[in-house]
Amino acid sequence: MPNYKDFPGNKKAFIFEFDNVLYPEKDYLLQVYYLFASFLEYTEAFPPAEDLTAFFKKSYEHQGAEGIFERASEAFGIDSKYKENFLRLHKTARLPLKLLLFEEMNTLLQDIIINEKKVFLVINGDVEQQFNKIRQTEWKGLEHNLIVYFVEESQTKSKADVLKLILQKYQLGQNDVLLAGNSEADQKSAEAAGIDYYSLTD
């Protein structure tokens, strides 16, 4: 993970994605799975929430989130009618525990703000779900200094276009801005917008 000194001193603004950049997305998903398992046990009395939660955790760690409801349904005989509840929970869940930023990223954001630079979050994914995550994150006061854009709300649904919009709206030159991300898509978006990219996976 980087620290503020790793970045060029001439940057006026820093842009971040959210999932697995500022916090571990699994901390959200595993709580959603726990809530769904508890709901299902309460509604149907089977399977035991503890067993289903353990299955979700293991399945997520080995195969990821894609198709996880179907895997659980096959393993426990869960009626497909509950998939709607499962998907809705992803957007509306009230988490038992707040989401915590990676400690290094929390420090980095604080250092950026102390040095009077702008911080933008440019976030992919379902807007309702991503907003639900943001409002249940422990920001420690940092939220007052964040400027958030949801890619899905943009006209073209293009991250590169959102980056260009930020440059224009806030009168920033391409050399003034750095995007820190963890995917090839992030890197390509930065290149398309003509701004520097810092890989958090290196």
Q: State how far the Cα of 32 lies from the Cα of 21, in Å rounded to an integer.
A: 20
What is the full per-residue pLDDT of the chain (202 aa) written as tens digits?
677 888 888 899 999 999 999 999 999 999 999 999 999 999 998 999 999 999 999 999 999 999 999 999 999 999 999 999 999 999 999 999 999 999 999 999 999 999 999 999 999 999 999 999 999 999 999 999 999 999 999 989 999 999 999 999 999 999 999 999 888 999 999 999 999 999 887 5
Place of tokens 């009618």: 81
Tell me the residue range of the domain where 169 lies. Answer: 4-23+101-199
CATH of the domain at 158: 3.40.50.1000
Compute, in degrees rounded to 10, the torsion defined by CA atoms 111, 26, 122, 108.
10
Residues 113 and 181 in one domain: yes
Last-in-domain residue among 92, 114, 135: 92
Going from the C-alpha of 1 to that of each of 105, 107, 150, 182, 194, the distances in angstroms are 7, 10, 24, 11, 24
Indicate the residue among 92, 117, 144 that finishes a domain: 92
Tell if the pTM clears 0.75, that is, is over it. Answer: yes
Nearest to 23 by CA among 195, 126, 115, 142: 142
Do residues 110 and 193 share a domain? yes
Q: Which two tokens stand for residue 105?
A: 């990223």
**107 and 50 assigned to the same domain:** no
DSSP string, 24-37: -THHHHHHHHHHHH
Q: Do 137 and 173 belong to one domain?
A: yes
Tokens of 187: 């890197």
If asked whether residues 19 and 30 sit together in one domain, one would say no
pLDDT confidence of residue 1: 66
**47 prior amide bond cis, ω within 30:** yes
The three-state secondary structure class of 91 is: helix
Q: Which of 42, 62, 92 is the last residue of a domain?
A: 92
> What total of structural domains would you count in the chain?
2
Amino acid at 180: A
Neighbours of 10 (CB within 10 A): 9
